[in-house]
Amino acid sequence: MGHVIVGGGLAGARAAEALREGGYRDPVVLLAGEGHRPYDRPPLSKEYLQGSADEGSVWVHPADWYREHDVELRLGTAVSGIDRAAAEVILADGRRVAYDRLLLATGSSPRRLPVPGAQLDRVHHLRTLDDSASLRAAISAAARVAVVGAGWIGMEVTAAARIAGAEVTVLEAAEAPLLAALGPKIAEVFAGLHREHGVDLRFGVQVTEIVGDDGAATGVRLADGGVVEADLVLVAIGAAPNIGLAVSAGLDVDDGVVVDERLRTSDPRIHAAGDVANIPYRALGRRLRVEHWATAYYSGPAAGAAMLDAEGPGYDQLPYFYTDQYDLGMEYTGYVDQSEPVDLVIRGDLVGREFIAFWLREGRLVAGMNVNVWDVTEDIERLIRSGAVIDAERLADPEIPLSEIK
């Protein structure tokens, strides 16, 4: 029968690659809902959106890779269900595809703003290549942009819009950008960055309506009655995992599809990877569903290996992501829940935005973020994995190389 992958993103493409590199010779079918072959998503809110890279930079594999590796790539193919008893995937047109093993790499979808006017023209979301192309064209023509949500996507698009010359207003319910991820002190670094670039940041506000004229958005109404005028509105309020297939198939679901370290779901013939998977992270001692490029990049091949019953430790990566905004570059390794008690240690120049931030729980490093400081992620990962209690004063001292800290 062969192996079937549902989801034409990075995780699915990397899983197909791992199957072939692992020596699997039976059929591999990759079912992609979009009309594009698999592509990387980070450029969609960064260089591709800004126009500094073209479409050719986003593809995971060259166009002929799938044919050359005998991977049956079916574009624009929607999947409506899974028949676990028959070991078949049910397509939207009623056809069925049998599987020996099945990988769910269905990703996530942008959350929609539940207010009047959310369906108007000139209201954008960013997830797909087509979304990014449409948003890029809209930004180039817009004088005023309103961004609802100050998470990673919202702030990266804000930077792109300012670079393009648009006036940008950011509307955020929390008291700072990126607050849930970074906590108040580091969140203020990003707030200051955007203020320096002329962004109007409005925190603690609630959007009640997207107002429009002749079917197109013209602004955003707030709970206090005020209206922020805009030629373009981006809604960036997070994403939800695409768990519909897993739920209807009766798989265990809890903020994503629950998997073990081999990325197996509650049905051992079905695996999950990427944004949709809730994965146990041994080094962190907790489960997480991580919506970042690195998760798809590494969990796809790990799922492919597991589908071949290959020996090994299973998925053992730490969460990792990066951002580029104006002249700020950042990498983040590990995970911290900012609602839990943690200690923040800073090494370097916070005001000059050239530093490393470390988050420690009971003296043990759980996450590190380097801002305009490079070649330190391996040391940060080593310290997280060690689980050792670390001297905070040594960690903060830039005169002591990270490589010497145990």
What's the pLDDT at 406?
85
Contact 294, 320 (CB under 8 A): yes
What's the pLDDT at 159?
98
What's the pLDDT at 219?
98
Contact 272, 257 (CB under 8 A): yes
Q: Distance between CA atoms of 158 and 400, rounded to whole angstroms?
A: 36
Contact 246, 257 (CB under 8 A): yes
In three state form, how does the secondary structure of 3-49 look?
EEEECCCHHHHHHHHHHHHCCCCCCEEEECCCCCCCECCHHHHCHHH
Which stretches of the chain drop beneath a pLDDT of 70?
none
Contact 390, 364 (CB under 8 A): yes
What's the pLDDT at 290?
96
Contact 233, 68 (CB under 8 A): no
**Rounded to two decimals, what is the model's pTM?**
0.95
Q: How far is CA 23 from CA 67, 106, 298, in A?
A: 16, 25, 19
- Residues 6 or more apart whose CB falls under 8 angstroms from that of 108 comprise 127, 239, 240, 241, 242, 275, 276, 291
Domains of the chain and CATH, by start: 3-109+240-307 (3.50.50.60), 112-237 (3.50.50.60), 327-404 (3.30.390.30)
Query: Which residue spans within 284-394 are E strands per DSSP?
Result: 286-288, 320-325, 328-334, 343-349, 354-361, 364-371
Q: How far is CA 15 from CA 19, 30, 234, 271, 303, in A?
A: 6, 10, 32, 11, 6
246 membership: H or E segment, kind and range:
helix 244-248
* Distance from the first to the final alpha carbon of the chain: 50
What's the pLDDT at 311?
82
| Closest among 304, 299, 317 to 256, alpha carbons compared | 299
